[in-house]
Amino acid sequence: MEKITAIKGIKDVLPKDSPVWHRVEMTAREIFGCFGFCEIRVPIMEKTSLFQRSIGETTDIVEKEMYTFRDRDNELLTLRPEATASVIRAYIEHNLFASDPVTRLYTMGPMFRRERPQKGRFRQFHQIDVELFGDDNPASDAEVIFMLMHFLHVIEIKNLSLEVNSLGCKACRPVFSRAVVDYLKGRESSLCPDCQRRIHTNPLRVFDCKVESCGSVITGAPLIPDFLCADCSEHYSRVRGYLDDLKLPYETNARMVRGLDYYTRTAFEVKSGGLGAQNSLAGGGRYDGLVQFMGGPDVPGIGFGIGMERLIACLPPEERNPYAAEIFIAALGERAQKIAFPLTQELRRRGICAAMDYSGKSLKSQMKRADKFNCAYTLIFGDREIEENCAEVRDMKTKNQQRLPLDHLLEAVTDLLKAR
């Protein structure tokens, strides 16, 4: 019979890896909560039109990477390739703007893109996503960037670099786009097929191309900061001023663009030296006008996404044993098993991590099992101990043993563990 394996580009998170995922997620919740952000959980599947409208029909994501299918009602559905569109859809649908003019949200979970799997890039990947609606002050841009960098430092990511840019607005970006198109005319033959097509559909995406020949062509291209209108230029200057006030190191990257059409003004990206060629760890920016474009009120927005797999690849493995338990109950014989089973469940009900072997193996085998669980104590009893109305408890570190009365075994074990 053919062995069934996971889909290419979709990975399991194994028990040995789960602790670091838990730590990252818990740290994110704690830090984001301190900055006033609340968690929202959105579906992994949405109507395809949501992503076509928000991301842009000429982006690589919509054109080539989405997992899209028709359901039984012939409705076109898509597994979410990113989270911002879903969060905005929920923000509009549930009138979250009515309760507070400034809304701060974050979400975590899997995203899906049909890409060529490679290091740090998967077809099912996980993101931490943060969105702030209702405030277009440059201080909000700096605050969101500061929170991102603070989170990455707290979880001890090393070799970080922050890059910022401004992508302009609907008033000044079209002028820049025309200048880029004019520059690329006559140089099409040196561009990859995708970028040759992008000249007519989405010229700014040429800046984001990873093909070496395209990078060489774009070296002499116009730079967007030279085309910013007065308002965008002032906004960009004030964002950098706030970052300076926060003593947050950063570099300006005039060639940086984001992969999604909806970004305006502030854009930023965090890279890690420990990731190799695919070194982008997190990124985001401002998307004023997107909420209104999707049918909501005219409110500004800014946010970022963090790639969980890439982030965790930068972290050392957790030392904590995923199988750890506080006490192992080695019950020898049928009578002991009958006492041990409810005892184990009651300890767990009281919040104590207890483990037990139900197979009736030898004491030697059960002690090996206790070692695997990295238990602090092992409780041992069989027919002889039952006759003597006691049980032996062994400290697995010191190997010292003491006797506990069977009549009050639950309380005695609970007190022992609380006294640690």
- Taking a C-beta distance cutoff of 8 angstroms, is the pair 366, 328 a contact? yes
Instruction: Look up residue 61 and give its DSSP letter.
Output: I
More confident residue, 187 or 63: 187
> Quick check: is 208 in a domain?
no
Domain around 243: 18-172+228-313
> Quick check: is 293 in a domain?
yes
Residue among 198, 160, 179, 181 nearest 64 (CA): 198
Q: How many domains does the chain have?
A: 2
Angle, helices 334-349 vs 409-418, to 10°: value is: 50
Distance CA 49, CA 255 (A): 30
pTM: 0.86
> Quick check: is 3 in a domain?
no
Residue 35 has pLDDT above 80, yes or no: yes
Boundary of a domain, candidates 313, 338, 359: 313
CB neighbours of residue 52 within 10 Å = 18
Burial of 281 (0-12, 13-18, 19+ CB in 10 A): buried
CATH number at residue 274: 3.30.930.10
CATH number at residue 387: 3.40.50.800
Helices (H), 155-264: 173-184, 193-201, 212-218, 230-245
Assess whether 296 and 334 both reside in one domain: no
Instruction: Look up residue 224 and give its DSSP letter.
Output: G
Average of per-residue pLDDT values in the chain: 89
Here the tokens at position 207 are 């800046």
> Quick check: is 213 in a domain?
no
> Quick check: is 54 in a domain?
yes
Residue 58 has pLDDT above 60, yes or no: no
> Quick check: is 352 in a domain?
yes
Assess whether 234 and 368 both reside in one domain: no
Assess whether 271 and 373 both reside in one domain: no
Burial of 93 (0-12, 13-18, 19+ CB in 10 A): exposed
Assess whether 398 and 267 both reside in one domain: no
Assess whether 273 and 391 both reside in one domain: no
> CA 285: distance to chain centroid?
17
pLDDT, tens digit, 9 for 90 and up, residues 343-394: 999 999 999 999 998 988 899 999 998 888 889 999 999 999 999 999 999 9
pLDDT, tens digit, 9 for 90 and up, residues 142-187: 999 999 999 999 998 988 999 999 999 989 888 888 888 888 887 8
pLDDT, tens digit, 9 for 90 and up, residues 220-236: 888 888 999 999 999 99
Assess whether 156 and 297 both reside in one domain: yes
Output the pLDDT for position 154: 95
Assess whether 164 and 276 both reside in one domain: yes
> Quick check: is 125 in a domain?
yes
Residue 406 has pLDDT above 60, yes or no: yes
Boundary of a domain, candidates 259, 287, 313: 313
DSSP bridge partners of 329: 356, 379
Boundary of a domain, candidates 257, 286, 313: 313
Helices (H), 79-211: 84-93, 138-154, 173-184, 193-201
Residue with tokens 């760890």: 281
Output the pLDDT for position 235: 97
Assess whether 388 and 264 both reside in one domain: no
Tell how strand 38-39 and strand 264-272 pair up.
unpaired
Residue 276 has pLDDT above 70, yes or no: no
